[in-house]
Amino acid sequence: MKKICQGLVFVIFISIVSMLLNTYLLGFIETLTIGIILGIIITNTIGYGENLEAGITYSLKKILKWGIVLLGVKLNFNSVIELGPMILILVIIIIVSALILSHLIGKYFSLNNKLSTLLGVGSSICGASAIVAMGPVIDADEEDTAISVAIISLLGALGVVIYSSLSYVIPLSDIEYGIWAGSSLQGVAHALAGAGARGADSISMEIGTIVKMARVTLLAPVAIILSMIFNTSKSGEKKRVSFPIYVLLFILVGAFFTINDIYKLIPVAFSIGTLNIDLIFILKELSNFFILMAMVAMGLKVNIKSFTSTGLKALYACSILFFLISIFSLVLSKIMI
C-alpha cells in the first residue's frame, strides 16, 4: 500500500501542475493533453524510480475506471428522448460511419486496428473520455491510448477555432448549426464551445449540448459491441466476453441522476452551515481529476520513440477522419432535420 501511495502522490502532483499550467499559462491546450505531455517528458528524460510504478499503474487501471463511472453524472437520458428519433438516428449513423471510416483510413496508414478504433470512438462519441473508457474494453496498449487522446485533444481544439470562425458565415439556422457542432466535434467541451459560438444563450448551444449528450449516451452500447468484436480470436471462435462492470455502473449513475432530476429523490444542492454544496459539480470535477490522473499515468508509460513513429501517421489519419465526419454531419443536418 505504501508503494501505491507514493506513486499516487507523484501522479496527483503532476496532475495539479497540469491544471495550473492550463489555468495560468497554456489555456489554449487541454489539461488532459498537458498531463500526457508532462508524463512523456518526465519518463523520457529524468525518468522515475521503481517505487512509483505501483501507484502509476493503479492510477491507470483503477482510478481511471472510477473516473469513467462518475462520467455518468453528466448524462441526461431525458434530453436525448426529447429530441426525437431523427436525432438519435443521425447520431447512430455518424458513429457507425466514423468507426468504419477510421478502420479503412487506419488500414491505409498501416495503423493497428485498436489504435484506429480508439481514434474512431474519440472522434465520434466523446473525445478523450470515450478513448479512455474504450481502451480497457478492447485491451488497447497504453501508448495507443495516449497517442489517441493527444491527437483528439489537438484536433478538437482546432475544430473549435474553425467552427467558431464559420458559425456566422456558413448558411445554417441555429438549430442546424447546433446539430452540426454537437454531432461532429470531438469532446464534450469542444462541442459545447463550438455550438456556443453563436452565443451562450442561443438555441444552437442548447441543441448542440443535447446532441452531444446523445453521443455520450451511446458510449455504453458501443463499448459492448466492441468488447464482443475484440474478444474474438483470429480463428473466428468467440472468447468468453466479460461485460465491463464500470460501463454498467456508468449507465446506472446516468440513469439515477436522470430520474433524480425528475423526482428529486435526494437533494443535489444543499447547505451545511454557511457552506453551499453542489453534489453534481463535485462529482463532475472528481471525474475530471480522476481521468486526468489516468492520462498522466499513461504519459509516464509512453516510449517517446514509439510515439513519434506512430503519432504522425495517426494524426494524418485522424485529420482526414475529422474532415469527413464534419462534412457528413453537415449534410445530414441539412437533409434529415
| Residue 236 vs residue 304, higher pLDDT | 304
In this model, does residue 9 exceed pLDDT 90?
yes
* Cα–Cα distance, 76 to 125 (Å, whole number): 15
Q: Residue 305 — very low, low, confident or very high, per pLDDT cuts 50/70/90?
A: low
C-alpha cell at 273: 452551515
Mean pLDDT (the chain) is 86
* Closest to 223 measured CA to CA, from 319, 290, 140, 151: 140
User: In the chain, pLDDT over 90 holds for what percent of residues?
Assistant: 35
**Residue range 38-73, pLDDT digits in tens:** 998 998 899 999 899 999 999 988 898 898 888 888
| Residue 314 vs residue 230, higher pLDDT | 314
* Cα–Cα distance, 289 to 64 (Å, whole number): 10
In this model, does residue 3 exceed pLDDT 80?
no
Query: Is the distance from CB of 73 to CB of 283 less than 8 angstroms?
Result: yes
Mean pLDDT value across residues 199-220: 81
In this model, does residue 89 exceed pLDDT 50?
yes
Count of residues in the chain: 337
Structural domain boundaries of the chain?
2-335
In this model, does residue 124 exceed pLDDT 80?
yes
**Per-residue confidence (pLDDT) for residue 238, from 0 to 100:** 46
